[in-house]
Amino acid sequence: MTMNDELVAEYLAAVDRAAADIPPSRRQDLLADLREHIAAARAELDPETEAGIRTILDRLGDPAVIATAARLDLTPPPAPPVPQPIRPGAAAARRGPGIVGRILIAVVAAFVLFFVVCAVGLLAYRTAGGGPRTGPVTVVTDAHPPSRPPG
Amino acid sequence: MRNMEQQPGLATALRRGTLEFCVLALLRGGERYGVELVRRLGAETALTTSEGTIYPMLSRLRRAGWVSTSWRESPAGPPRRYYALTHDGATALAHFRSEWVAFRAAVDRIVASEPS
């Protein structure tokens, strides 16, 4: 490890320590961004000098201040909603029928099930109760088709 | 003394909710690579404290989907991450612009005018 590499590693470790209370995924994001910035800025140094590295790190700023900025970004300011008149309607249209539709299907299914159970029960009762009473049995069989789920 | 203490907090409060739209505005002319973007903003001392403080905001803009990024090989050095404005980002920026113009005009009318 060269002196310059050490400077960079020390700086990144200081940011890591200062941002220790930030959720790991965000902290890793931040460190990756800073590492990438330093690598790109180093590539522009010709020749690479210690002073050059120090300037890059100075411009990035105090690790504590960067950590504060990252902390503030955890609770972003209420971003103005993206105003797209078509969107909220479209989103509601997409979401609305989803929930309403599901409830409707459940209600219809419950009714269908109820009628089927009633019809079967009635059929069983009539069949067991009286042999000659064919009339009501026919009615019950007629009641079957509407009780089938539509479509 | 009290004023001196309030100044940094005031700058932070003013930047919050504003700076991210400056990033979006810088991308209107086309994509830019991260370091270029950060240096451009970092040069505006009224807007930023240091270059490093811009990265958490860039990360938030990526997550919000207001910018998209792509990696490209660079002529010298490591691959570069380029930032581009997305459709959502452009819409958000347009909304901010109209709000900002009205906001700035109202503040100027009251704050920047001579007492009558």
Residues A63 and A112 in one domain: no
Q: Is a pLDDT exceeding 80 seen at residue A96?
A: no
Q: Give the pLDDT confidence score for residue A81 in this predicted structure.
A: 57
Closest Cβ–Cβ partner in A43, A60, A73 for B51: A60
Residue of A nearest to B62 (CA): A29
Residue B21 falls inside a structural domain: yes
Band (A28; pLDDT cuts 50, 70, 90): very high
Q: What is the DSSP code string of B45-78?
A: TTT-S-GGGGHHHHHHHHHHTSEEEEEE--SSSS
Q: Are residues A52 and A111 in the same domain?
A: no
Q: What is the mean pLDDT of chain A?
A: 76
Q: How far apart are CA B55 and CA A13, in angstroms?
A: 17
Collect all residues of chain A within an 8 Å Cβ-Cβ radius of residue B91.
82-84
Residue B101 has a pLDDT of: 95
3-state secondary structure (DSSP) of residue A61 = coil
Tell me the C-alpha distance between B101 and B99, whole Å.
Answer: 6
Q: Which residues are registered as beta bridge partners of B81?
A: B71
* Residues A8 and A52 grouped into a single domain: yes
Do A92 and A38 sit in the same domain of this protein? no
A85 — pLDDT class (breaks 50, 70, 90): low
Is A83 in the B-facing interface, judged by CB distances under 8 Å?
Answer: yes
Domain assignment present for residue A78? The answer is no
- Residue A41 placed within a domain: yes
Same domain, A67 and A101: no
Same domain, A62 and A17: yes
* Residue A94 at interface with chain B, using a CB cutoff of 8 Å: no
Tell whether A64 and A92 lie within a shared domain: no
Q: How many structural domains is chain A composed of? A: 2
B116 found inside a domain: no
Select the residue of A44, A65, A79 nearest B49 (Cβ to Cβ).
A65
CATH number where B106 lies: 1.10.10.10
pLDDT mean over B2-23: 77
Q: Are residues A13 and A66 in the same domain?
A: yes
B60: nearest CA in chain A? A73
* pLDDT score of B46: 87
* Segment B90-116, tens digit of pLDDT: 999 999 999 999 999 999 999 988 776
Q: Is the peptide bond before A47 cis (omega within 30 degrees of 0)?
A: yes
Question: Is residue A50 in some structural domain?
Answer: yes
Same domain for A51 and A104, yes or no, is no
Q: How far is A77 from chain B (nearest CA, A)?
A: 6
Q: Per the structure, how many domains does chain B have?
A: 1
**A-B Cβ pairs (cutoff 8 Å, strict):** 98
Residues A9 and A67 in one domain: yes
Q: What average pLDDT does chain B have?
A: 89
Q: What is the pLDDT of residue A122?
A: 74
Is the pLDDT assigned to residue A104 strictly greater than 60? Answer: yes
Domain that holds residue B30: 2-111
pLDDT of residue B7: 60
Domain boundary among A72, A103, A121: A72
For residues A7 and A68, membership in a common domain is answered with yes
Q: Is A41 in Cβ contact with B35 (below 8 Å)?
A: yes
Residue A135: pLDDT band with limits 50, 70, 90: very low
In tens, the pLDDT along B21-68 reads 999 999 999 999 999 999 999 889 888 889 999 999 999 999 999 999
Chain A residues with CB inside 8 Å of B67's CB?
A: none
Both A100 and A143 in one domain: the answer is yes
Range of the domain at A32: 3-72
- Specify if B59 maps to a domain: yes
Contact status of B17 with chain A (Cβ, < 8 Å): yes
pLDDT recorded at residue A79: 57
